[in-house]
Every structure is written in structure tokens, then in C-alpha cells.
Amino acid sequence: MSKYDIIVLGSGPGGYVTAIRASQLGFKTAIVEKESLGGVCLNWGCIPTKALLKSAQVFEYLKHANDYGLSVKDFDKDFDAVVKRSRGVADGMSKGIEFLMKKNKIDVIKGYGKLKPGKKIDVDGTVYSADHIIVATGARSRELPSLPQDGKKVIGYREAMTLPTQPKKMIVVGSGAIGVEFAYFYNSMGTDVTIVEFLPNVVPVEDEEVSKQLERSFKKSGIKIMTSAEVTHVDTSGDGVKATVKTKKGEEIIEADIVLSAVGIKTNIENIGLEDVGIAVDRDKILVNDYYQTNIPGYYAIGDVTPGQALAHVASAEGILCVEKIAGQHVEPLDYGNIPGCTYCSPEVASVGLTEKQAKEKGFDIKVGKFPFSASGKASAGGNKEGFVKVIFDAKYGEWLGCHMIGAGVTDMIAEAVLGRKLETTGHEVLKAVHPHPTMSEAVMEAVADAYDEVIHL
């Protein structure tokens, strides 16, 4: 029986990063994967979807070439080629993880892993042991009883990335990151898209002003939006799909070629041996302490299977912290209140910290600043004037409570707020940090200036 210091079950952005950090720390490490290295993120999630969205963005530029003084004739999209490019990007990234495994001398064990008592793991009949076993099996598309997925007419995100033909009409159920990203992609490609959201606002975890701006932008681009609405039944017996949607006004039937179910995720914790080992689970999540130890010594869990935010960068951070603690390093628990969230539709959405509503509910006396990209020279020059940056500060101490952005490229800008909050930066310090001109990032400084009644360009 092969013996390791650490075995990681699952090779997504939590698992493979954990394995690499473990190897760097001198542990003899193995990783178990039943499909492709990189997990959902690299193969069916974060990376290939961004490739699709880039194609959509380029296509949008071509459609609006006249706005930039350019004349482009006889252009069209090739849906098959767009999908093929996306898969090529994913394959390249997965091969990159294979290289990293070899570089870091990590053994890759291909097959289905199942935990066993005594710090062992069975991979298709072969048993391996380790001093520490880390579960990083991730999650998959969640299915609603009223919306069973058949993979053809009612699909999840995997099928949405590799459809053989582009649908003429699509219903997207759910308006979280997955829902709005695919809604933007297919709408840009020419599909008639309707979003159905159960809650009153699209991207419901975001600040309300951001939600309303995205709804305006989407409607302007031709996406139909139904909020406070629920799909109660789907009829797939005909050529397409007939979805029964319940709204405040009553029921209506919407016809489409395909329904994309984007109503969240379901953790992959079934049939991996948790019960055999006695690992505690609550409401679809593995219970862990601040250092990702389960209730059974020697077994750990990170990423989507644990109660934290189900985000790739969270899984990576958890895995690094987990193995550094095993190595005896001094580590601080992850601050889940300072995790950035990014949505890559157009306009992009990015945020960190408290929304204005949350800050008020917590009893803070707040200063709020907002700077629209319509007043930004860089945004105007680039033809991307939609959106704004919004900042929230504690009026008493100047603590940066939250930052919310919607606009072009804001997912690359939010890190300033994350770092500023980590370093306990005050509003005045941000205001006095010179920002380069002309840039989109100036909007952060200008929004802070607005909060403190010192805004110049508004």
C-alpha cells in the first residue's frame, strides 16, 4: 500500500493548489482525480466560460465598429468555432496543471476515490494511505424538482458550453453569476434570452444599485427579465420547451428551444466515504474548523464542500491555509468578510464587503460615495460609459466597509478594495493615494472623494 504525507481528493482550483503548496512545504503528496485535472473551474467553469464571453465581447465590438469610426463589412459569428476555441483554452489549461504536477513531483492518481477509516483512500480498488487526507471534491449544477435536467432541452452549465447548435430562444432560470454570464453570451450571439429570477433583483447578492444598473443594461441589449418569478413546470414533449412561469400577476407560458437551469450548486459529497469514516455533515456541507479540520483527526475539507463562499479563489486560499497549518506555520483564519465576488457578463460586476443595506442593518453611521463611468475620461474614450463605482465607509473611523462596481473591466479593479480593507485603509488614505490618469481605476478615488465631499470631476 502506497503511503503519503498528504493525499488530496479532487483537482479543482482548491485541490491542485493545495497539492502544490503541500509539495512546496516538503510533504510527499498525491492527488486523486476521476476526470480531468483542473476540475470544473478549468474544464467546465471559470476558464472556458471566460473564453466564450471574450468571443461575445469581440463580436459586440464588431457590431459597434461604426461607434469607433471604423467600417467593418461581411462579418458573422461561427458558433461551432466559438465553442471549439473555448474547449481549446480549457484543454490547454488542464495540460498546464499536468505540467505543474510533474514540476512539483506530485503523484496523480486517476480514478474514483473513496475515503476509508484509518486515514486511507480507495481508488478503484487500490488503497492508499496518508497522514492527512484533504477532501476537495467541489460541486455541480443543482437541480430543482420542478426543473429536472435532461441534458438536451433542460440543461446545466456544462451543456450550455458545448451546445451543438445555437438556440434561437433560451430561458435562463436564475440570475447569479452563472445565469447572467450565459444570458449575456447567448444574447450577444443573437439568441432571444429571457431571465427568470425568483428574488426581486437580478444578481441578488449584489448591492441593490448594482442590480438595478445591470437590469437596465441587460434590457437595453434586448434581454427580457422577469423578477419575483418562478418556473413551476416545464413541458418538453414538443419540439422545444414550454415553461410555466408564476409571477405576481399570475401564470404565463413561455416557449423556447432550451431552458438553462442556473439555480445554484450541489456539493459532491455523496459516495465518497464520509459516512464510513464518520465525518460530520450539515445541510450539504462538510463541517470544519477555522483550519479545515473535520471532526475526524487526519481528515480535512476545503472549497465548495465546506460552508464558505463557493468560489475558486476561496477554495485555493483555504487549501493553502490548511496545509500551512498542517506544516506548523503560524496562520490566521480566512476573513470571509473580505472575499471579492466577480461576475463576467457585460457590464462586469465586482464587489467586496458590505452592501449599503447591510451596513445600515449592522448599525453603522456611513458615508457613501459614487462615481459614474460616464464622467470618466478613460471610459468615454473606450466607449464603455455604463456603470459606476460605489464605496461605503464608516463615518466615525473611516473604515472601508464595502466597494461595489459595475462596468467594463471592474473585475480587474476590485483587488484595490480587497487589499485596502485587508490593510485597514481609511477613506482619507485612499483619497490621498495618487491614482493614474486616465484610467478606469481613477473612479475608485473619485468615488471616495464623493463620500467625503471632495469630488472634482462630478
For residues 327 and 321, give the distance between their C-alpha atoms in angstroms, rounded to a whole number: 10
Q: Do 278 and 256 belong together in one domain? A: no
What stretches in the chain show pLDDT beneath 70?
1
The pLDDT assigned to 176 comes to 95
The pLDDT assigned to 78 comes to 94
- Round to the nearest angstrom and report the end-to-end CA distance of the chain: 69
Structural contact between residues 426 and 399, judged by C-beta atoms closer than 8 angstroms: yes
Instruction: Convert the pLDDT of each residue in 80-95 to its tens digit.
Output: 999 999 999 999 998 9
Instruction: Convert the pLDDT of each residue in 341-378 to its tens digit.
Output: 999 999 999 999 999 999 999 999 999 999 999 999 99
The pLDDT assigned to 240 comes to 93
Structural contact between residues 427 and 455, judged by C-beta atoms closer than 8 angstroms: no
Within a domain: 172: yes
Structural contact between residues 255 and 234, judged by C-beta atoms closer than 8 angstroms: no
Q: Looking at the annotation, which residues are catalytic?
A: 437
Instruction: Convert the pLDDT of each residue in 249-292 to its tens digit.
Output: 999 999 999 999 999 899 999 999 999 999 999 999 999 999 99
The pLDDT assigned to 141 comes to 87
The pLDDT assigned to 400 comes to 97
Percent of the chain's residues with pLDDT above 70: 100
CA 122 to chain centre: 31
Domain count, the chain: 3
Q: Do 12 and 123 belong together in one domain? A: yes
Q: Indicate the residue among 213, 244, 263 that finishes a domain.
A: 263
Q: Do 286 and 162 belong together in one domain? A: no
Q: Do 383 and 415 belong together in one domain? A: yes
Residue 71: partners with Cβ closer than 8 Å, 6 or more residues away = 65
The pLDDT assigned to 272 comes to 97
Tell me the residue range of the domain where 166 lies.
154-263
